[in-house]
């Protein structure tokens, strides 16, 4: 398991355990912490799994695919560190990753 730090919309912080190979969205939902709706179930069509990746980690993650980049850009809360957590596959190299759940739209 990989330890990932998640900051929820209230600023509460928790370290969750994520299974390599799962999506970050799945890991957050399984942790029962943070309020990620993920209404499309990870099909990259709703953006309700929007997170901000800690700047120290943005270069370490794979670049978002075009569909993810285009979808997240439409968010009113879009930042350069925005990602859709359903499109981030957890790897062993992500130990210590920190993300913040974006405000709900």
CB of 87 to ligand FES, least distance (A): 7
104 sits in which H/E element: none
User: Taking CB positions, which residue lies at the least distance from ligand FES?
Assistant: 86
| Token pair for 89 | 């596959």
> Which residues between 12 and 71 bind ligand FES (CB under 6 A)?
25, 38, 40, 42, 44-49
Instruction: Report the residue from 4, 16, 24, 86 that binds ligand FES according to the rule CB under 6 A.
Output: 86
Cα–Cα distance for residue pair 53/82, rounded to 1 Å: 6
51 to 81, 82: CA distances (angstroms): 8, 6
What is the contact surface with ligand FES in residues (CB under 6 A)? 25, 38, 40, 42, 44-49, 84, 86
């Amino acid at each position: 398991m990989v330890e990932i730090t998640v900051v929820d919309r209230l600023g509460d912080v928790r370290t969750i355990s994520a299974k390599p190979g799962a999506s970050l969205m799945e890991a957050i939902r399984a942790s029962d912490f943070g309020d990620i709706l993920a209404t499309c179930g990870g099909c990259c069509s709703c953006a309700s799994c929007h997170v901000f990746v800690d700047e120290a980690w943005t270069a370490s993650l794979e670049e978002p695919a075009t569909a993810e980049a285009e979808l997240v850009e439409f968010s009113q809360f879009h930042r350069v560190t925005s990602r859709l957590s359903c499109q981030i596959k957890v790897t062993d190299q992500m130990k210590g990753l920190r993300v913040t759940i974006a405000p709900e739209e």
